[in-house]
Amino acid sequence: MNPLQAIGWRWTPPTLDPAWAALMAAHPDARPARITEQHRSGYAVSEAIDVAHRAESLPEWQRAGSYRKGEINPESRPAVGDWVLVEGEAPNALRIVALLPRFSAIKRGAAGEHYKQQVIAANIDTVFVVCGLDADFNPRRIERYLMLVGGSGVQPVIVLTKADKDSADVEAALHELRAFGTPVLALNAKDRDSASALAPWLGEGQSIVLVGSSGAGKSTLTNTLLGSERMKTGAVRESDDRGRHTTTHRALIALPSGTCMIDTPGMRELKPTGEEVVAESFADIEALAAQCKFNDCKHLREPGCAVRAAIESGEVDAQRVANFLKLSGEVAGAANTLAVRLAQKSGPRPQGKPQSRRINNEHDG
Ligand SMILES: Nc1nc2c(ncn2[C@@H]2O[C@H](COP(=O)(O)OP(=O)(O)OP(=O)(O)O)[C@@H](O)[C@H]2O)c(=O)[nH]1
Ligand SMILES: [Zn+2]
């Protein structure tokens, strides 16, 4: 097997994106590799599972000033999961010479003053939104994740863990979540047969990520899919009493099925970029809204509101509608911040504002 296949490469010349083929033709001495880490000063790339090396990147991806001058959008820098072309030999002479265009990208609104958004994981096929059928069960949080990955090009799948627990009301949960229009499964993350329900998304050459709150069962599920105890789970952690963050970090994990799982810390801190289309992950509400009397209906107390009527008749959950309105407000807020930032960037620099201040926070960790 081509060692790249274990880290998600699945293309052959006939299935290769023409843009990729063109870049490869332009760099005949280069070969593909995948980004596993992105740092302030450079990158780590992998050409086979469990091996990653530092690689020198193009100068325009390094200079902080390039962002400020608007020469390079941070989104056009490689991120974890990106395929790049490299030249030279590891460990000391690897150089990235080109970024291959990504087919999907999970982004988040960036904390920095300058850039609008940051790519957290690129070239992912499926994101499993993991939620336990215990006290962790929270449809509103699931809706938030679905909204954040909506429009990324990544297929979301809801995975409800802890279905084996006596207290789990599996049928009620499945019934509620099926209305979301996203595939949903309930399983026991500790059990291999149960976890095999994920097989349709775990084909060879697929790339996946798991998101979900602490304790949802992500490490447990990963271990079960791996078939061995490779990640430390909550249980281990409790006994060593060192709190969180004991999970050994490994960016690309090869599952026996030939799927590449990407584990990147940024996935834990998703927040809106302002470019999300909330309605996309609320298709049921969007369909109702199309029937409201006023086409700018806010679904609050307008007459002829089909959304309110559907709440009354029990067709749609009032909390789901409330969350839709809340998330729409958050995205609108983020979009506003984004617009202000872009305007400041293109307009003249405010008087008396020191240049150096503007460079702060430009980097991700
Ligand atoms: N009975 C049962 N227990 C589960 C299941 N999934 C996870 N658990 C337990 O729930 C606890 C937390 O699971 P983890 O896999 O550590 O959760 P996590 O999502 O990786 O948490 P973080 O690493 O903090 O993000 C552990 O004690 C697991 O054994 C399940 O499907 N059934
Ligand atoms: Zn309405």
Provide the CATH number for the domain around residue 46: 2.40.50.140
- 161 Cβ inside 6 Å of ligand 1: yes
Residues whose Cβ atom is located within 5 A of ion ligand 2: 292, 297, 299, 305, 307
- Of the residues 133, 165, 167, 220, which should be mutated to test ligand 1's pocket, given the most ligand atoms within 8 Å of the CB? 220
- 222 Cβ inside 6 Å of ligand 1: no
Determine the distance separating the centroid of ligand 1 and the alpha carbon of 239, expressed in angstroms. Answer: 14
Lowest mean pLDDT among 103-117, 166-180, 285-299: 103-117
Q: Residue 356's pLDDT is what? A: 40
328-359 pLDDT, tens digit each: 999 998 888 878 877 776 665 555 444 443 33
Give the total number of structural domains in the chain.
3
Q: Is residue 365 part of a domain?
A: no
State whether 251 and 299 are in the same domain. no
State whether 70 and 194 are in the same domain. no
State whether 163 and 203 are in the same domain. yes
Q: Is the predicted pLDDT of residue 295 greater than 70, yes or no?
A: yes
**Residue 243: pLDDT band by 50, 70, 90 thresholds?**
very low
State whether 315 and 201 are in the same domain. no
Provide the CATH number for the domain around residue 301: 1.10.40.50
Determine the distance separating the centroid of ligand 2 and the alpha carbon of 306, expressed in angstroms. Answer: 5
State whether 177 and 77 are in the same domain. no
Q: Is residue 243 part of a domain?
A: yes
Select from 103, 134, 158 the last residue of a domain: 103
Q: Is residue 116 part of a domain?
A: no
Determine the distance separating the centroid of ligand 2 and the alpha carbon of 140, expressed in angstroms. Answer: 20
Residue closest via CA to ligand 1's atom 30 equals 162
Its domain, for residue 167, covers: 126-268
State whether 244 and 295 are in the same domain. no
- 215 Cβ inside 6 Å of ligand 1: yes
State whether 202 and 70 are in the same domain. no
SS3 category, 44: strand
Q: Which residues have a Cβ under 8 Å from the Cβ of 339 and sit 6 or more positions away?
A: 274
Q: Is residue 320 part of a domain?
A: yes
Tokens of 128: 């499993």
User: Which helix (H) or strand (E) segment is 230 a member of?
Assistant: none
State whether 146 and 80 are in the same domain. no
Q: Residue 236's pLDDT is what? A: 34
In the chain, % of residues over pLDDT 70? 83
Q: Is-contact 86 45, C-beta < 8 A?
A: yes
Distance CA 341, CA 333 (A): 12
Distance CA 53, CA 46 (A): 6
Residue type, 179: A
User: What Rg, from alpha-carbon coordinates, does the chain have?
Assistant: 22
Provide the CATH number for the domain around residue 264: 3.40.50.300
State whether 282 and 352 are in the same domain. yes
- 162 Cβ inside 6 Å of ligand 1: yes
State whether 341 and 293 are in the same domain. yes
Q: Is residue 95 part of a domain?
A: yes
Q: Residue 33's pLDDT is what? A: 96
Distance CA 86, CA 89 (A): 9
- Location of structure tokens 């304790």: 215
Select from 268, 299, 334 the last residue of a domain: 268
Determine the distance separating the centroid of ligand 1 and the alpha carbon of 233, expressed in angstroms. Answer: 7
Determine the distance separating the centroid of ligand 2 and the alpha carbon of 302, expressed in angstroms. Answer: 7
State whether 251 and 231 are in the same domain. yes
Distance CA 236, CA 215 (A): 12
Neighbours of 270 (CB within 10 A): 18
Q: Is residue 76 part of a domain?
A: yes
Distance CA 23, CA 86 (A): 12
State whether 37 and 69 are in the same domain. yes
Q: Is residue 119 part of a domain?
A: no
Q: Is residue 117 part of a domain?
A: no
Q: Residue 274's pLDDT is what? A: 87
The closest-lying atom of ligand 1 relative to the alpha carbon of residue 220 is 15
Question: Binding residue per annotation — 337?
Answer: no
